[in-house]
Amino acid sequence: MNTCPAILIAAPASGQGKTTVVSALARLHSRQGRTVRVFKCGPDFLDPVWHALASGAPVYQVDLWMNGEADVRERLAAAAREADLILVEGVMGLFDGNPSAADLARRFGLPVLAVIDAGSMAGTFGALAFGLQHYQPDLPWAGVLANRVASERHALMLKDSVRAPEQWLGAVMRNPAMVLPERHLGLTVASELSDAMERLDAAADALASTPLGQMSLQDLQRWQVNFSTEPAASPAQPLLQGQTIAVARDAAFCFIYAANLDALRALGAELVFFSPLADVAVPACDALWLPGGYPELHADKLAANTALRDSLAAHIAAGKPVWAECGGMMALFDTLVSAEGASQPLWGLLPGTVRMQKRLAALGPQQLSLAAGTLRGHTFHYSTTETALQPVARTARPDTDPLPDAGEALWQQGSVRASYFHAWFPSCPDAVVELFTAPQRAA
């Protein structure tokens, strides 16, 4: 069967606490022995880490543009066959972006649960909930949850403001113990916090006292969704069969879509993982992937690991391909300058300087056209790069024609390809093969 209770948890804006609520709900049901599958609407690396910890299962992105509708439908249907509950976290505000979380909800019939930070409102809470429900026609609706509520009296005022009593799903009180900490790119990675599970349990306990948290499996059937599927697309050809790809994975390089790893394995590649922070050599491999992350937080330790740097240089000198995206690319340059102006040497394998800044440098969906096809993905970074390298290509937004100075640069030197662009590998397996194949004219 492809039917399963499912809700999309959204909010009027970012910062309302929807990630905490999704993780709390996943943790609450999973610790009761239920199988929960969580998805993230839109490109995001950080929220899914918390959801995976809470649910005990990998978390995949579902974005109508980046994935495509068929891919989203197939992922949701596969989850429905094994789960007791499917949770989808929205992105930004409910109607923000094109496509938005509301578009996803309408396309797949996902009832929307609105999480609203009620810390500074009373009667307006009901107006906001009503507006979110009725702004677009035919939007499936589950109800509303008040977050960061000051007191029981405050909760009663909020409840009374909701027009339909059955849509009131409760109030979560303000509680520092359940706060998920943040930094400049979003939430702190759960694996870096020794008390991550304690925070999730505190959030789950808080949610357990609400009508939402007290719902049984039978109660959840009111949000049953049928995820009908079309015939599955032909599987990717194993064009990387016999190839070993080394993937950097640690606190400095942690922006890795689970779907990207699946895509590489589906292409036949064997994956090995290593830590540029801790290991002294790149594993034996045919190609290498340096994903994004936080090299700026670990720049001194990365620079000090000269043995790893020399091993990486030998890999490049041998003409073996490297795909470096965003943070992985940053580490390859000569120098990193912090937002405060402090300069730190990096690996020096690409010429140039990376400068951190306190404001976003770029954000949004992007696509990269290569000879083998077009990869979809996104960009999100707080740094700029100064380099003598000339771009061999540039990404483009999905809704505009490529311009000479628009999009993210794709730089190439020897067997290294590097860009701020984060690629969604399932969008074009043939292009992924190209990324992990040495350029014909490696300088």
Between 111 and 397, the more confident residue is 111
Q: Among candidates 139, 208, 146, 205, which has minimal Cα distance to 172?
A: 146
Q: Among candidates 184, 7, 14, which has minimal Cα distance to 96?
A: 14
Q: What's the CATH number of domain 244-435, 3.20.20.10, 3.50.50.60, 3.40.225.10, 3.40.50.880? A: 3.40.50.880
How confident is the model over 172-199, as a mean pLDDT? 65
User: Tell me, what's the pLDDT at 42?
Assistant: 86
The reply to whether CATH 3.30.110.70 applies to domain 3-224 is no
Work out the mean pLDDT of the chain and round it to a whole number: 91
Q: For the residues of 79-144, what is the DSSP string, one character each?
A: HHTT-SEEEEE--SSTT-SSS-HHHHHHHHTPPEEEEEE-TT-STHHHHHHHHHHHSSTT--EEEE
Among residues of the chain, what percentage have pLDDT more than 90?
80
Between 404 and 179, the more confident residue is 179
Asked if residue 387 has pLDDT above 90, the reply is yes
Asked if residue 64 has pLDDT above 70, the reply is yes
Q: Other C-beta atoms within 10 Å of 343: how many?
A: 11
Per-residue pLDDT tens over the stretch 238-257: 999 999 999 999 999 999 99
Please indicate whether residue 428 is annotated as part of the active site. Answer: no
User: Token match 């007191």: residue?
Assistant: 151
With residue 218 as reference, give the H or E element that holds it. helix 217-220
Query: C-alpha distances in angstroms, 172 versus 17, 53, 121?
Result: 10, 21, 14
Asked if residue 171 has pLDDT above 90, the reply is yes
Q: For the residues of 338-396, what is the DSSP string, one character each?
A: -TTS-EEE---SEEEEEEE-SS-SEEEEEEEEETTEEEEEEEEESEEEE-SPPPSEE-B
Asked if residue 65 has pLDDT above 90, the reply is yes
Which position among 4, 41, 285, 326 bears the catalytic label? 326
Asked if residue 188 has pLDDT above 70, the reply is no
Alpha helix stretches (DSSP H) within 292-350: 299-304, 306-317, 327-330
Domain boundaries, the chain: 3-224, 244-435
CB-based contacts of 282: which residues, under 8 Å, 6+ apart?
246, 274, 288, 308, 311, 312, 314, 315
Longest dimension (CA), the chain: 70
pTM of the model: 0.91
Asked if residue 285 has pLDDT above 90, the reply is yes
Q: Do domains 3-224 and 244-435 have the same CATH topology?
A: yes
Query: C-alpha distances in angstroms, 346 versus 176, 209, 310, 379?
Result: 37, 50, 12, 22
